[in-house]
Structure 1
Amino acid sequence: MKRLASLEQVTDFGDFTRGSDLTDFLKQSYINNCSKNVLHNVRVSPDGQHIHAILHKPNSVVLTFDKLQRTPLVPSHNKHIELNWTRTVPIVDLVYLESRQKEGGSVDLVLVLENGKVEFWKYWEGKGSWQLQVTSELCNSPRAKVVSVCTSSKCIIWCEERPPSESASVCTAARNTFRYCICTRSYELEERGVSLGGVKIILHNNPRYTVISSGGNVYLLPDKETQPASLSKFFLMCSPPTMDTITVCNACKGTFLKKESRQGKESDFKRLISDCIGVLSTSSPPEICSVFPTGCGGLLLLLSSGWISILGADGVLRQVYKLADNCLTDRSTHSSMQVYGELLAFAVERTLYLIDTRCGAELEKIPLNKEGLLFVNCRARHLPHMLTDAGIFVSRLRGLDRSPKPLCHTESIRPDSLLVEAVFEEACKYYQRRSLSSTQLTVEKLKSGGMFQAPIALSSILGGYLRGHKPTGDLVQGEDPISYAKLFTSLEPELKSLIALEEVKTAVVRASEKELSGYSEALVSEEVSRLLSTDLDRENLQYLNMVFNTFPLESWQALQAGLQLGPNGEGSLLAKTGTEVWKSILSPLPAAHPSLTNSQKGGTPANNNHSSSNGAVPVFELICRSLLTFQPQWLPRFVELAQQQQQQAGASSWSYGVKEGPESVPLYKRALSVLPERSESQDLEVELLLCSQRPNAVMQALRTLIEQRQWGRVTQVAESFCRQSPLLNKEIFTSLLCEVSQHRDLDPYLDLLWTLCPEDFTVTSILNIVLKNLPLSSPEPSPFQTEGSQLTIGTLKPLLSKVLQRETKPSQRYADILQSPFPPPTPPRQIKGLPSSVSEPAINQSKQRTPSPTKIPTTTNS
């Protein structure tokens, strides 16, 4: 359901001075610059009452348009009202200053020129005109060149280009790149003028930066056109007025270094970057396409990956919304973003997106006739305002009686409110799974009508506990105080764990790189141990997959610690863990929700042993992947250990895999599924096949070893597994005898092979196998040839002699029968159960008859 209305027009510039000229100017700009950002040089005052446009011509001009009819600054025959008539020096920027708070309706701005001159202007509400307050030099050096400027906390911050050193005869490219510096200068607005403080250099020997102010922070963004790619991986942040802390930020990690400088001392750019050069070299952040301030100390970033992210004033980078792939095909496409409380407005390609910053949900898309410029009106900060050539428009929120709170760092979000919302969202998913209705359950429906008292009681307890007191007084309507107290008592251990987790999260946000590594190991260890000790459903299994994929090393360390996994000194692995953990490890994917069954009918089964529709992998395969990455030699031993646990527990009590006919998928096949291409892991594949102890797998491993011509390993495997069963002994010996018939590579091992000959093999069966497998090197192949490497009768003589001796000797298998008398004596026959009334003649007569079922009559007393 859409919550936001379409754009409503506030003004068509008819109530602005020269409003028609402003409309013509914007329309003409669209025509002349249809492929560029035509609104890049348009500024709107914080109160929305003034609009300025900077024109870069041979003589730079600032056009100003003020709301309501005012006394013009220049004679009426001029088409536009200009702050100055002629400027031969290019204008860098026009910045609005903080209000004086003395004279109502006054607006102050500063106009900065490229040569370092600065002009302070003030708009008098009563007179309806702009007046120049003071003109001054901003830079210390007359040869300095200002490239970017902003204001924050009654300070002017700018980036200036210093002239090259006169002592240097040749100015290299490196010297040209790092000949900029960041400066600041305080100002104080007085009744009749402006008082400027001294110049303070914050950073020197740095590349060219664009300075952007957001709340109490100033960001230094790299200039993509002049800087190499290595310098575009990061940007800087500092906080006026002291500027004692410079923070290095990144588009994929947020903030990762804070450089504390001494009071009143300059910071050198090269020394600052040397502290984090290792982190910068390994990171590959996406390109920053557009940057907009949030007004609360943060920064909105539009990245080349399509993500819109918010960098908070606390240094946390949060992804909010992912654009469609075709939205950023042209980097010159105009885009504009602003945050209005908990609402993000984003305009790109004549479409206005309204997004909830809390969850990233797209609330509405509004088509636009032309590109627009989003701005924040201080008189209605929660409403999106947009400037276009047709006027100023506003989008009003429906269903909200009051404006939402701004998403500022100074007004921190209460954790109890967020966690209470999380309770209701989790309850929605739970009740939705149990519901037979197709109607989507929402949090609003869950809270309304007195429904579902359990999440309401839980959220009340959670909120009260996080506020620091027991919620004994805030009972849900109709709730029993005794049961409510019991519920709180049972939940108190979980609440303590929740508080501890929130404290860890806070510590992680503020931690350094070294501390962050330790926190990651501890958190991953706890999460892996917790998940393996519970019955994993699909959501928890997907979460475990995410943990393993995000923290592979930490997950492997957690497995070793949780399972106490390690070698026992005898070539095997040892794991000290309970039956429940092994049940989670050896179980396949959990069953899908019944609501998904219909979509899976006729297709792939819901229980896929290797992966699911959402990419989840069973725990056993996850562990095998970790072993393959960090300890590949342990993988076969782990499979053996798992098979032992499976045999001890009994296959009937656990479900290990997807049914393949009468039996489950064996563990060795599940382990084989995680191996890469066969050419890269043949040795490990052979070990897994052998550790399964299954005849088919052993023969497959033996054939692989034969293909690799590892004859020493072939004879070891044959000697080891021929003792397991006569059938396996026969298959192994037959395969090796075929190899002996074809080449002479096994000659050094013939004595061992002849000992493996099965007892039921005869000379005839051996010769038949040999004759069938002789190589076709002559028209009449014969085992008696002696040329080249052909098999000779001398090679087979020890085997044939052994078999002939065994055939001529009497078999000991039936020796006890041969030594007994033949025929054996007839055992005495005893007829039991015959009644005493049956006479002897009747018995003799029954012996002479043909044996047939006889019905014995029941005796009666005469």
Structure 2
Amino acid sequence: MKRLALEHVTDFGDFTQGRDLSEFLKQNHSNVHRKNCLSDIRISPDGQHIHAILRTPKTGLMTFDKYQRFQLIQSQKPLELGLTRTAPVSDVVYLDCSSRDGGGSAVLTVVFENGKAEFWKYWERRGGWHFLQASDLCNSPTAKVVSVCASAGFIVWCEERPPSESSSVVNATRNSLRYCICKRAYEVEEGGVCLGGVKITLHNNPCYRVIASGDSVYLVPDVKDNSLNTISKVFLSWSPEHGTVTVNSACRGAILRKPSLMCKESDFKKLMVDCIGMLSVISPPEIWAFAPSGCGGLLLFLSSGWVALLQKDGVLRQVYKLADDCSAIGGSVAHTSMAVYGDVLALAAERTLYLVDVRCGLELQRIPLKREGVLFVNHGDRGVPYLLSEAGLFVVREGDGPVSRSRPSGQPERLQPGALLMEAIFEEACKYYQQRSLSGNQLTVEKLKSGGMFQAPIALSSILGDYLSGRRVGEQGQEAGGHAKLLSSLDTELKSLVALEELKASVVGASEKDLEGHCESLVHKEVGRLLGSEVDRESVLYLNTIFTAFPSQAWRALQAVLQLGANGDGSLYSRTPPEVWKVVLSPVPAPAQCPGAGRQRDHTSAPANMAVPVFELVCRLVFRFQPSWLPRFVELAQQQQQAGASSPWGYGAKESPESAPLYKRALSALPEGSEFRDLEVELLLGSQRPNAIMQALRILIDLQQWGRVTQVAERFCRQSPLLNKEIFTALLCEVSQHRDLDSYLDLLWTLCPDDLTVTSILNIVLKSLPSPTPDASPFQARGGQLTIGLLKPLLSRVLQRETKPSQRYADILQSPSFPPPTPPRQARGIPRAMTDPAVAHMDCKQRTGSGTRVTSPSHLL
């Protein structure tokens, strides 16, 4: 890779009034009252126009245009606004006119603080800027526009309403919430701009700076009132087209998402009620500077020294950290400029241009600057950083010589595995002690090193030093003798870490062919390591990243790790250990709970920790590269789950209410569409579950695949009587509605359950008959109506079964002796009635009263 350097493009000599522009920019250094001069510079998307907003003592707008042909310099008319007007300029915004205006001319909107807006169009052939129209942007004549932008066919602005007359403490906070967020649709036409009606989408909100990024608009607080300290902890992201609003923080990313909240007028205070609990426990850093990322995200320069990227999905990524002492930069945030160019983040701060790989946070290069500058994106060359300073326009190009990436002082040029391994040990120790900590404070490596109370990382670091020194254990003396056993047990892990760092070093300077081989090897090792280790949320997130970035390499690695193969009958087999299947079949672990944030789980931060489980990831790869294997893979997974039910790992136990069956998890890998219905049917049938079988049967009925319908019915009716009755009832309803199953009726009548009677059959048929229509023709598209002749074989079969004597008790009726003989009785002694005359006499009286002939005991003798 070559060295990157600043290339001087122009000194404003090819701009109209270029000298005035240079003088204006020099005021940034000569006059202490003009420190915010660079923040008042606006550059057109094509880089052909530069606008300077005049604040004090004069108010207005100066425009400097780049001329393409020298002969047109005399006819250029610079646009100067506001010098004769009383209202200052709030901002200038370029409108998207690519869909309407094929000539590619620029349309500029100049918005004044009193709510007026002027629209100008630039024609180079006609001599510069031409006035189109003037409009009232705001409805209220007393409104004051504090910020404005354009996004997705809307002009969005934040306006200030007059404060209340009361000056009480309660109303002081209420008066701070006197701003509104408004929008108006626009459409650029040939002769002007057509504006829609004003819509107030959010009211009673604090002062916001509106920033357009892609199709989203970000609302960043611009308040200095101590009474709004809690509200200033968050900022909003909003889609004017769909009305979705998200509450974000500089430490958590998205914490609350409200779909279609701001389609109509909404109250800011009601929005804050839903996240008031979160606001009381978070302490985000201060936002010093911000800029759109161009892809719908927002760049944030925080007081912690981090440059973070809030993605469009609400995930907050820490990209790059400046020096720990950022107080000097924080005092001059107006001189901080950021922009993203492809995969490179450019940050201009304190006369230094930082170039960082936005994907991994690696600092590519530092370029010193003579003066402060403003970074901007030229839409004609989006992948290259452009910088504007008082000396002119500069662009970052590749120069001669190799790149000398900046490193901390004292770090040598070559790779030092020892330092990297020691840092890995300390980072792992931080995670371990953070889980055991009862405090909500975040533990860092610096705190761990300075604390002096954690001896385990220090001991491990010394072991690493002994290992990397290459000395034998016997030569290390008595001091290192206690480390010999631990060193031998860590030998495999140490070798893996060293090999990984060496592989990273070789990847940096590898060719494309060697890079592909290194990538294949690295993905194979990482997939094998993750699937063979204890599953946690971080490892699942890492596996998601690997499967997304390297799908083909991950598919080959997955086949090797699971040892997948096909048998002769078409089924799959796997020779991998049960521990790997435990990881594959396990759900995603719940996110770790912060001890200092209460016991309630934070569902609003789910987008930042969203992870697709391993089984779903594997199913997606199987579907992508071998779709016919997906049903057989799910059957193999079900076998492994059943086999592991009694294993010590327990991954095959019965699913908990929170987890879904494997076939449902596999169905999530299928994209929506009718072309994959056959694969969905195979997954449902392979589960062997009654509900899934009936779902597959209904899909086949909808597809009118009657041959497969009868095959499925004949196959699964033998599984259980209850499923047999449900399948037969569903098919009988279909027979009642059309004649497509006439050729299969003989087979269907054999599937009739034994407990179904003629009455129940007729009730099902009558309920399923289609309702007659007045204009129905006698010959319908799908046959005709059901007749008794079609049902006669079924009814005859059921009647014969009902009239035939039941054979359930045939073995009893055919017994040789009926009723069964009386069992013999054994005398256990002389009864009391035979020996006691009183008892015998009483018994005789009772028998006489009941009409039974009484025989005296003497006759019995």
Normalising by structure 1, report the TM-score: 0.50
> In structure 1, what residue type is equivalent to 2:42?
R
Q: Is the 8 A contact 1:472 1:481 kept in 2?
A: no
Partner of 1:455: 521
Q: Is the 8 A contact 1:344 1:355 kept in 2?
A: yes
Distance 1:388 1:210 in 2: 24
| Pairing 1:93-242 to 2, within 5 Å after superposition | 93-101=91-99, 102-164=101-163, 172-226=171-225, 228-242=228-242
Q: For residue 441 of structure 1, give the secondary structure of its aligned residue in structure 2.
A: helix
State the Cα deviation string for residues 85-114 of structure 1 (Å, max 9, x = none).
Answer: 522101110111113343333011111111
Distance 2:580 2:125 in 1: 60
Structure 1: gaps (5+ residues): 401-426, 527-560, 564-862
Distance 1:58 1:69 in 2: 33
Partner of 1:703: none
Residue 387 of structure 1, CA deviation:
0.5
Partner of 1:763: none
Q: Is the 8 A contact 1:71 1:128 kept in 2?
A: no
> In structure 2, what residue type is equivalent to 1:107?
A
Distance 1:99 1:36 in 2: 34
| Pairing 1:328-339 to 2, within 5 Å after superposition | 328-333=327-332, 334-339=335-340
The root-mean-square deviation of aligned C-alpha atoms, in Å, is: 4.9
Q: CA, structure 1 residues 199+322, in 2 after alignment: closer, same or farther (shift >3 Å)? A: same
Distance 2:367 2:39 in 1: 22
> In structure 2, what residue type is equivalent to 1:293?
P
Residue 368 of structure 1, CA deviation:
0.3
Distance 1:152 1:259 in 2: 20
1:354 equivalenced with 2:355 (yes/no): yes
Partner of 2:769: none
1:442 equivalenced with 2:507 (yes/no): yes
Q: For residue 318 of structure 2, give the secondary structure of its aligned residue in structure 1.
A: strand
Q: Is the 8 A contact 2:388 2:394 kept in 1?
A: yes
| Pairing 1:739-778 to 2, within 5 Å after superposition | none
> In structure 1, what residue type is equivalent to 2:91?
D
Q: Is the 8 A contact 1:44 1:375 kept in 2?
A: yes
Q: Is the 8 A contact 2:563 2:576 kept in 1?
A: no
> In structure 1, what residue type is equivalent to 2:386?
H
Distance 1:229 1:25 in 2: 36
Q: Is the 8 A contact 1:428 1:443 kept in 2?
A: no
State the Cα deviation string for residues 356-409 of structure 1 (Å, max 9, x = none).
Answer: 111111110000000010000101111111001111111135799xxxxxxxxx
Q: For residue 198 of structure 1, give the secondary structure of its aligned residue in structure 2.
A: coil
State the Cα deviation string for residues 201-238 of structure 1 (Å, max 9, x = none).
Answer: 11111111111111111111111324632221111111
Residue 174 of structure 1, CA deviation:
2.2
Distance 1:287 1:326 in 2: 15
The partner residue of 2:86 within 65, 85, 88 is: 88
Distance 2:606 2:211 in 1: 35
> In structure 2, what residue type is equivalent to 1:249?
N
Q: CA, structure 1 residues 494+345, in 2 after alignment: closer, same or farther (shift >3 Å)? A: farther
Q: Is the 8 A contact 2:507 2:518 kept in 1?
A: no
| Pairing 1:708-747 to 2, within 5 Å after superposition | none
State the Cα deviation string for residues 9-66 of structure 1 (Å, max 9, x = none).
Answer: 1222122122222222212333124872321100110011111111124552211111
Q: For residue 40 of structure 1, give the secondary structure of its aligned residue in structure 2.
A: helix
Residue 280 of structure 1, CA deviation:
0.3
Q: For residue 159 of structure 2, give the secondary structure of its aligned residue in structure 1.
A: strand
Q: For residue 325 of structure 2, give the secondary structure of its aligned residue in structure 1.
A: helix
Residue 457 of structure 1, CA deviation:
8.0
Partner of 1:740: none
Q: CA, structure 1 residues 284+88, in 2 after alignment: closer, same or farther (shift >3 Å)? A: same
| Pairing 1:590-601 to 2, within 5 Å after superposition | none
Q: CA, structure 1 residues 76+133, in 2 after alignment: closer, same or farther (shift >3 Å)? A: closer
| Pairing 1:667-686 to 2, within 5 Å after superposition | none
Q: CA, structure 1 residues 231+516, in 2 after alignment: closer, same or farther (shift >3 Å)? A: closer
Q: Is the 8 A contact 2:155 2:184 kept in 1?
A: yes
Partner of 1:772: none
1:343 equivalenced with 2:408 (yes/no): no
Q: Is the 8 A contact 2:155 2:183 kept in 1?
A: yes
Distance 1:61 1:522 in 2: 49
Q: For residue 329 of structure 1, give the secondary structure of its aligned residue in structure 2.
A: helix
Q: For residue 338 of structure 2, give the secondary structure of its aligned residue in structure 1.
A: strand
> In structure 2, what residue type is equivalent to 1:341?
G
Distance 2:341 2:395 in 1: 12
Q: Is the 8 A contact 1:59 1:87 kept in 2?
A: no
Paired residues, number: 494
Distance 1:521 1:258 in 2: 15
> In structure 2, what residue type is equivalent to 1:96?
Y
Q: CA, structure 1 residues 138+284, in 2 after alignment: closer, same or farther (shift >3 Å)? A: same
Distance 2:179 2:561 in 1: 69
Q: For residue 289 of structure 1, give the secondary structure of its aligned residue in structure 2.
A: strand
Residue 495 of structure 1, CA deviation:
8.7
> In structure 2, what residue type is equivalent to 1:433?
V
Q: CA, structure 1 residues 452+214, in 2 after alignment: closer, same or farther (shift >3 Å)? A: closer
Q: For residue 13 of structure 1, give the secondary structure of its aligned residue in structure 2.
A: coil
| Pairing 1:212-611 to 2, within 5 Å after superposition | 212-226=211-225, 228-243=228-243, 245-261=244-260, 264-333=263-332, 334-396=335-397, 433=498, 440-442=505-507, 444-445=509-510, 448=514, 455=521, 458=524, 466=547, 514-515=602-603
Distance 1:74 1:189 in 2: 28
Residue 154 of structure 1, CA deviation:
1.1
Distance 2:372 2:38 in 1: 9
The percentage of aligned residue pairs carrying the same residue is 48
Residue 290 of structure 1, CA deviation:
0.6
Q: For residue 64 of structure 1, give the secondary structure of its aligned residue in structure 2.
A: strand
Distance 1:273 1:263 in 2: 14
Residue 467 of structure 1, CA deviation:
8.1
Q: CA, structure 1 residues 286+192, in 2 after alignment: closer, same or farther (shift >3 Å)? A: same
Residue 178 of structure 1, CA deviation:
1.3
> In structure 2, what residue type is equivalent to 1:455?
S
Partner of 1:14: 13
Distance 1:13 1:231 in 2: 43
Q: For residue 125 of structure 2, give the secondary structure of its aligned residue in structure 1.
A: coil
Distance 2:274 2:218 in 1: 19
Residue 82 of structure 1, CA deviation:
1.5
Q: CA, structure 1 residues 88+472, in 2 after alignment: closer, same or farther (shift >3 Å)? A: closer
Q: Is the 8 A contact 2:158 2:179 kept in 1?
A: yes
Partner of 1:28: 27
Q: Which has the higher contact order (CA 8 A, sep 6+)?
A: 2
Distance 1:210 1:505 in 2: 37
Q: Is the 8 A contact 1:17 1:69 kept in 2?
A: no
Distance 1:437 1:204 in 2: 57
> In structure 2, what residue type is equivalent to 1:232?
S
Q: CA, structure 1 residues 503+36, in 2 after alignment: closer, same or farther (shift >3 Å)? A: farther
> In structure 1, what residue type is equivalent to 2:276?
I
Q: CA, structure 1 residues 521+507, in 2 after alignment: closer, same or farther (shift >3 Å)? A: closer
Distance 1:521 1:367 in 2: 38
Q: Which of these two proteins has the greater Rg computed from alpha carbons?
A: 1
Partner of 1:771: none
State the Cα deviation string for residues 170-221 of structure 1 (Å, max 9, x = none).
Answer: 9931231111111111111000011110111111111111111111111111
Residue 270 of structure 1, CA deviation:
1.0
Q: Is the 8 A contact 1:70 1:128 kept in 2?
A: no
> In structure 2, what residue type is equivalent to 1:11?
T
Distance 1:518 1:105 in 2: 43
Residue 516 of structure 1, CA deviation:
7.2
Q: Is the 8 A contact 1:211 1:218 kept in 2?
A: yes
Distance 1:165 1:517 in 2: 37
